[in-house]
Amino acid sequence: MNNPSEPSPSFTPVDRAPRSAPLDQVRSVKAKLGLLVAVSTTLASVLAAVGAVGSVPVWLSIPVTVALALAVTQLLAVGMTSPLREMTAAARGMARGDYSVRVTASSSDEVGELGRAFNRMAEDLAAVDRQRRELVANVSHELRTPLAALCAVLENLVDGVAEPDPVALRTALDQAERLSALASDLLDLARVDAGKAKLTTTQVVVQDLLDRAVAEARVTGRQVRYDVRVTPVALTVPADPARLQQLIANLLDNASRHSPAGGEVRISAQRSPDGWRLEVADDGPGIPAADRDRVFERFGTLAETDGGGGTGLGLAIARWVTDLHGGTIHFVDPEPRRSGARVRVDLPNRPRPFAPARREAQKPTMTKPGDSPERPTAGSDAASNAPSDATPAASKPLTLPSAGSGTATIAPPGTASAAVPRAPESGMDLMFGKFWPDARVPGSLRAVLWCLGVGLLAGIVLPFRDLGLGTFVVLVAAGGVILGFRVNRRSRFTLTCAALCLLLAATVVVRDAEWIAVLCLFAGGALCMTALVNGRSVPSFVLAGFAWPLAALRGLPWLGRSARAVGGLRANAAMVRTVVLCVLGVLVFGLLFSSADAVFGEWVGAIVPDLELDSFVLRAFITVAVGGVVLAATYLGLNPPDVEVDSGTARPVARRYEWLAPVLLVDGVFLVFLAAQATVIFGGHDYLERITGLTYAEYVHQGFGQLTVATALTLLVVWAAARKTPRTTSADVLWLRVSLGLLCALTLVVVASALYRMHVYQQAYGFTELRLLVDVFEGWLGLLVIGVMVAGITLKAGWLPRAALLSGASLLLMLAAINPDAWIAEHNVDRYTATGKVDWWYLQSLSDDAVPVLATLPDEVEHCALSGYERSTDDWLEWNLGRHRAQDLISPNSTGRISPDPNCPTG
């Protein structure tokens, strides 16, 4: 028999290697959650106690404790909710017609049971879908054969090739009857599936029923004998005679078709304890035991066959007729010393009402690349109607290797299984969504080890040391690791940020003033994060700052993928042996030589840190903290989030006055303010004191902060007005440039006024670090205003946010370059020389950077400024240029900050 026109696709589920989770054996979700809470709480308590014993600062112990508790919780919670996410992805695939995805359910709890039930459901749906495809393909094939024959006969009659004799008409009638039989069988199946096939039971004489069935079977002309035996002869059973006749006719048709010429078909009926039993046996090749449960499928690969041109539905109809009567049907072993097929039907005395329910779908055949699908034995009752393997290559499913040891099947075009299943979303994917997709970055054990190495270096170098050369080495190592794994390392913006970060980090070696060093480190961190996420706008800069700590959560899946590479290293016994031997060699011989030679021991002591309990705990916390921070930044560079927030298309106002009137009013306020400033300048101090009652120093101090806020708000006004201004005509653009340009120009005058006020205030009350920093900030705001004016001229402002960030970092770097503490000390010394006023307490609070300037004071007052400084005992890892230059100028007897000598002049 020819093959169906459209073969059913083979089914090969996606095979996943089972993943073992620590809590898989716990049989309750509640118990798992309780264990997670208990373990996390215990770990946090132990770490807090250890941190307290080691005198670890709270600002360091809390984040480290939280991070480690989260890591342990993530480790223990592996696999708890992954089946649910996989079920979501599989359900989406099923909606597209793909039933190949399976859920990895290795746990023993309720979620695991749900996952296994889901897999069974998916297998059943896949089998039903497969049978539906086979039904369509085989029905099309069954219809095509008689239709082709009927069309050929009719064409011959129409064309005059053949005469309308009884033989030709008989042939056409046979094909029409075959089509009618097929339609009747399909209708019977449809009624059974729909639950509309009802039984009309009466008392049926079995002997008469079998005799009629045999008489009809003899009409087919097959050369077989029929042997009918009924025990007792007068056996009468309650049944639907029409349905029972259909059952027996299909069984006899199947048996006679596969019996050899001259063979015998044996029919027997007898009573049984629960009803009565019917058996039909033949002398054909029989059915293998492994295939007996599958021959009752309709049109299946192993369904009942009819090499003589039947519909292929006979055994399927026989099974459903048996179901209607509440009985069972199956093939059994042939009689002793006989061969062939033997089907047994057991029917009850009282047919039970039949509620149609879908039988458990036949499990799909699991295939592997290179294996052939299982097929029935040639010549058996189930072989002649099975589709052959001569299927066109283009219509066969494509089996591809998937991750792990499994395979994935892509169905031919036009079939529902052609959709490739998507990977299920993890909990982190659901948490971060489109803002930060995982992108399935491959794990990198090398990156993790490098980051841990930086953390270990920090744990050795940083504790109990001031900022200096060691700190710079740690920062350079961290930056090298982060930049080394950065995805886009060659962009000009990234390289510029990297260069600025290096210069900002160098301030810990050049300057002793911690305030400027810490500000430079914060600025370097901001530049680093902005470069990693490739930010271009102010919101992206802010989101980059939040992304760094959030990377500790977002990067957990990547960290897990990286940790799985440890298994490969473990398998490399040679590498493990080499590492162990190297460590043992260094430890053994290092301890021997350090105890044998004092000089060698001193060298070792300078390199190996103190490992007492409290220092060990502190170093461990610093190792974890620094390593974690560098690891988070490394992941941020490998998989940056989408920080470019879409603020939407600006909606300009419909009428010009809606934006122009507020801007012109603000311009007017600025003009009035500048007029007031002009009256103060031309009226002099007497006019100011007569009008306000304030001295000039008090007057300038009162308004500096407000002017700084006004400058910042002006930038906000310019941004809002630029977004709402229509630019459809040249007049719109002209009004925009004139009004906002005037506002920016007036703002520059305000900036100059603010800087002048601060200068006057410093001359009156002295110079301090905060006042100098505020001066720099106000100057930076003025620089931004100039940038806004340039953007207004060109009407292009995309470059402005990055320029503002880089200019701010550059100004901070320039501030560090001028040695701010020395600059403050110098101006305070000049003020003392001119006015005799000075604050010795404040001068003593400056860093060692100011010592060379303070040493230029007259001898009689030099000790007033330098008495608070003490000589440092830094090692080479604490070396700092500012402290080094101050050592020779500080008295060897100085013991730290003391009260200035009462004889020192004050003012």
CA distance 72 to 554: 15
**Lowest-pLDDT choice from 148-157, 244-253, 535-544, 779-788:** 148-157
Question: If you average pLDDT over every residue of the chain, what do you get?
Answer: 76
Q: Which pair of tokens denotes residue 715?
A: 């930038």
In percent, the amount of the chain with pLDDT more than 90 equals 10
pLDDT tens digits, 509-536 = 999 889 999 999 999 999 998 888 888 8
Q: Say what the pLDDT of residue 883 is.
A: 87
Residue 505 above 90 pLDDT? Answer: yes
Q: Which pair of tokens denotes residue 536?
A: 């271009």
Q: Say what the pLDDT of residue 363 is.
A: 39
- The answer to whether residues 96 and 424 touch, using CB atoms and an 8 Å cutoff, is no
- The answer to whether residues 800 and 719 touch, using CB atoms and an 8 Å cutoff, is no
DSSP-derived 3-state class of residue 345: strand
Question: pLDDT confidence of 483, banded at 50, 70, 90?
Answer: confident
pLDDT tens digits, 490-503 = 778 888 999 999 99
Nearest to 242 by CA among 191, 279, 276: 191
| Those residues with Cβ within 8 angstroms of residue 276's Cβ, 6 or more apart along the chain or in another chain | 206, 235, 237, 269, 270, 346, 347, 349
Contacts 24+ apart (CB under 8 A), 172-176: 175/146, 175/147, 175/149, 175/150, 176/146, 176/150
Residue 311 above 50 pLDDT? Answer: no
Task: Note the Cα 852 to chain centre separation in Å.
Answer: 57
Residue 83 above 80 pLDDT? Answer: no
Q: Which pair of tokens denotes residue 3?
A: 């093959």
CA distance 16 to 404: 7
| Those residues with Cβ within 8 angstroms of residue 644's Cβ, 6 or more apart along the chain or in another chain | 535, 536, 537, 540
Highest mean pLDDT among 161-175, 363-377, 611-625, 626-640: 626-640
Distances from the Cα of 335 to the Cα of 3, 256, 339, 739, angstroms: 34, 17, 7, 107
Distances from the Cα of 905 to the Cα of 110, 842, 900, angstroms: 82, 14, 10
Question: Which comes out higher in pLDDT, residue 781 or 293?
Answer: 781
Q: Can you name the CATH fold of 195-348?
A: Heat Shock Protein 90 (3.30.565)
Within the chain, all domains assigned CATH 3.30.565.10 are found at: 195-348
Residue 429 above 60 pLDDT? Answer: yes
pLDDT tens digits, 798-832 = 888 899 999 999 999 999 999 999 999 888 888 88
pLDDT tens digits, 182-211 = 777 677 666 666 655 677 888 989 999 898
Q: Say what the pLDDT of residue 533 is.
A: 86
Q: Taking residues 231-238, what's their average pLDDT?
A: 90
DSSP-derived 3-state class of residue 43: helix
